[in-house]
Structure 1
Amino acid sequence: MKKLHFFLFLNLGLFLTAIGIAIFKTPNHFAFGGTSGISIILATLFPKYNVGNFMWLVNGILVVLGLVFLGRKTMGWTIYSSFALSFYVSLIEKVWILTSPLTNDTFLELWFAVILPAVGSAMVFNVGASTGGTDIVAMILHKYSSLEIGKSLMVSDSLIVLFAAYLFGPKTGLYCILGMILKCTLVDTVIESFNLRKVCTVVTENPEPIQNFILEQLNRSATIEDAIGAYSQKKKTILITVLTKREAMLLRNFIHKNDTKAFITIVNSSEIIGKGFRGA
């Protein structure tokens, strides 16, 4: 089931990315970077071929480079992702043929061109895979030079955007710059939202009902500490547990009904590593 979930989640992320490329990026010449940006530019220079064709070509070259310089083990699912994304883009271009943008609102289309690939990429990254493309170049540069992956990606994307501005004009170039900035921001935000958990700290004089609720009703565990109230000097118990958003709401409602003197703080965290959450 875990392998099936991984495979379905990976392909859904790639398909959403492909929709953003084929339906919104390509007709508007939004070359934010990556293989889609390179392919959009090449498809304009060589109109006989579409973006999907060039994505097969560019991704194929990059996969070969990755296998030579990084090895098969490092590439992993990146090989599958690179070709699967190319396949989905080609499929959408054949099923939904667009000779012009979907709407007359360029700014609206920019948002969908950013959001769909951002969500798709975040889903792929969240399962530990990669969409491939210029990520492969970044990994090669990182391995054989002092360049960080993030910086090398920014450099390659910036060069693609500058060429798009030269080819398609300043208006499209400015949209590409804005799209590149939004894409980087949204990917991180979406990844954090996927992994968001609630760290709940409960201070109470009657810990047993709360402890039982966490263990039996929420099927979670907790860390228990003894404490003393600074003002009252009474003995207290601190329970610390990590829950999903829904579970945190249930715990809060339970405490509100059953222990009005309890004190609870709930803090967001997107990096929870351990049993029941992400593998260490």
Structure 2
Amino acid sequence: MKKFSIKDFVMITLGIFLVAFGLEYFHIPNNIAAGGVSGLAIIINNFIPALPVGIIILILNVILFAVAFLTLGGGFGAKTLYASFGLSGIMWIMETFFTPVVLSEDLFINAAVGALIIGTGMAMVFNYGASTGGTDILAKILNKYFHVEIGKSLLAVDFVIGITGLATFGITAGLYALLCIVANGTLIDRLIDGFNTSKELMIISKREEQIIRFIIEELDKSCTVLNGYGGYTSEDIQILYVILSRREYIRLRSYIKEIDPKAFISVNEVHEVLGEGFMDIKL
């Protein structure tokens, strides 16, 4: 089992709450089966209305985890198990105690806002090393036994569910569901990039020792010192390489401006940084 910190617990819980809210108040009341186990559960609920969608998701996840255990082994991790069954639990609470109602009569608004909320929640769950199980498991099985790439497998499974939704609920709701499947994948990727964005800096300054001390003592970070050679000055120089959060970058930039306005700073955005001081490389 992977380590499960309090921060992970809080962020994953918030993520699955957003997914549950988007499903219960936007997609489920409008029969938008936008892929995944949740989409399949919406379709099944249409034929067995006595079973709430949250309970159907729970049943499907239990079946899928059992199949995965037999075919892929048991390496799911505590986070994925928590997110998968926690989502069903939150949906059951919403369905039992809050009786979700349609918030808008406009199908486009329901599809778009629901996709935005669900995509944001899923991105938070993925960003903290978990997943909600479901069709991820089917994609891994297809990858193992039929050598289909996981991304393509996941998209294929979701599109089959979307097409089934189209046949069940009609062309309008079905096409919106297919659009949500495409939009969700893109949105999740972009949001994960946004969560993990950092600033990569290369600094050339005659006050490098002061800058290094500021990075270590004030920002509680480290940096790498590279040896370089000035093409114009023909002098040996030292280049500082450091990766910082946006807020830390602003503080360092202000400090360098004060002590060496003629310093050279190159700044790039990086979308994932793993290792000490950043995201755990074991996630």
TM-score tier after normalising by the smaller chain length:
over 0.9
1:3 corresponds in structure 2 to: 5
TM-score (structure 2 length as normaliser): 0.92
Q: How far, CA to CA, are the matches of 2:86 and 2:18 in structure 1?
A: 12
Residues 197-235 of structure 1: CA distance to partner in whole angstroms, max 9, x if unpaired? 111111112212211111111111111123232223344
1:83 corresponds in structure 2 to: 85
Q: How far, CA to CA, are the matches of 2:227 and 2:72 in structure 1?
A: 51
Equivalent runs, 1:36-185 vs 2, <5 Å: 36-74=38-76, 76-99=78-101, 101-185=102-186
Quickly say closer, same or farther: Cα 1:75–1:251, change in 2 above 3 A: closer
Aligned partner of 1:273: which letter? L
Q: How far, CA to CA, are the matches of 1:182 and 1:21 in structure 2?
A: 15
Using the TM superposition, name which of 267-276 and 74-83 deviates more: 74-83
| Aligned CA-pair RMSD | 1.8
1:14 corresponds in structure 2 to: 16
SS of 1:154's equivalent in the other structure is: helix
Aligned partner of 1:11: which letter? T
Q: How far, CA to CA, are the matches of 2:209 and 2:277 in structure 1?
A: 23
Measure how far apart 1:137 and its partner are: 1.2
Asked if the contact 2:41/2:57 (under 8 Å) is kept, the reply is: yes
Measure how far apart 1:242 and its partner are: 0.7
Question: Segments of 4+ in structure 1 off by > 4 A?
Answer: none
Measure how far apart 1:158 and its partner are: 0.5
SS of 1:73's equivalent in the other structure is: coil
Aligned partner of 2:104: which letter? T
Residues 175-218 of structure 1: CA distance to partner in whole angstroms, max 9, x if unpaired? 11211111000111111112111111111122122111111111
Asked if the contact 2:4/2:78 (under 8 Å) is kept, the reply is: no
Aligned partner of 1:167: which letter? T
Quickly say closer, same or farther: Cα 1:75–1:139, change in 2 above 3 A: farther
Aligned partner of 2:50: which letter? K
Residues 238-277 of structure 1: CA distance to partner in whole angstroms, max 9, x if unpaired? 1110101100111111112221110111111122122212
- Give yes or no for the alignment of 1:29 onto 2:6: no
- Give yes or no for the alignment of 1:207 onto 2:215: no
Q: How far, CA to CA, are the matches of 1:66 and 1:11 in structure 2?
A: 24
Measure how far apart 1:75 and its partner are: 5.7
Measure how far apart 1:128 and its partner are: 1.5
Quickly say closer, same or farther: Cα 1:68–1:79, change in 2 above 3 A: farther
Matched pairs, number: 279
TM-score (structure 1 length as normaliser): 0.93
Aligned partner of 1:14: which letter? I
Q: How far, CA to CA, are the matches of 1:225 and 1:71 in structure 2?
A: 45
Asked if the contact 1:32/1:157 (under 8 Å) is kept, the reply is: yes
SS of 1:38's equivalent in the other structure is: helix
Asked if the contact 1:77/1:129 (under 8 Å) is kept, the reply is: yes
Equivalent runs, 1:189-228 vs 2, <5 Å: 189-228=190-229
Measure how far apart 1:88 and its partner are: 0.9
Percent of paired sites with the same residue:
37
Using the TM superposition, name which of 164-173 and 225-234 deviates more: 225-234
| Structure 1 unmatched ranges of 5 or more | none
Aligned partner of 2:257: which letter? H
Asked if the contact 1:66/1:75 (under 8 Å) is kept, the reply is: no
